[in-house]
Amino acid sequence: MQLFNVIGMAIIIVLQILKYAVILRALLSFLPISQDNKFVDILYQITEPVLAPIKAFLGRTEWGRNSMIDISPIIAIVLIWILASFVSSIFGVQAISSII
């Protein structure tokens, strides 16, 4: 049972790091930072597997094609929140901070 809780907490921590990475990427998109920056490159490598499918889905919708605002980070954060809630209830662990 102890290993079960450790696995659940590890998943919660990974989701929390991913949430903050998505938020940071969204905030950095407003700044004139070079894409050659190593930190930005690592941030994109972490967040792109989450954001790319959402962007592809939004690109197929009428609203997504005509929108000037990228809402994929908002959708990603909501999906991470839902997944963290699910993991928390399944594994019976509490989040370290307010991911839920």
More confident site: 57 or 68 = 57
Around 6, how many Cα atoms within 13 Å sit in the side-chain half-sphere?
3
Mean pLDDT for 34-45 is 88
Mean pLDDT for 6-12 is 89
Q: Given this model, what pLDDT does residue 34 score?
A: 79
Here the tokens at position 67 are: 């929108």
Domain ranges of the chain: 2-91
Answer yes or no: is pLDDT of 5 > 60: yes
Question: Exposed, middle or buried by CB within 10 Å (0-12, 13-18, 19+), for 55?
Answer: middle
Q: Given this model, what pLDDT does residue 100 score?
A: 45
* Separation between Cα atoms, residue 83 and residue 63, nearest integer Å: 25
**φ and ψ at residue 21, rounded to 5 degrees:** -65, -40
More confident site: 29 or 52 = 52
In percent, the amount of the chain with pLDDT more than 90 equals: 47
Q: Given this model, what pLDDT does residue 25 score?
A: 93
Q: Give the predicted TM-score (pTM) of the model.
A: 0.84
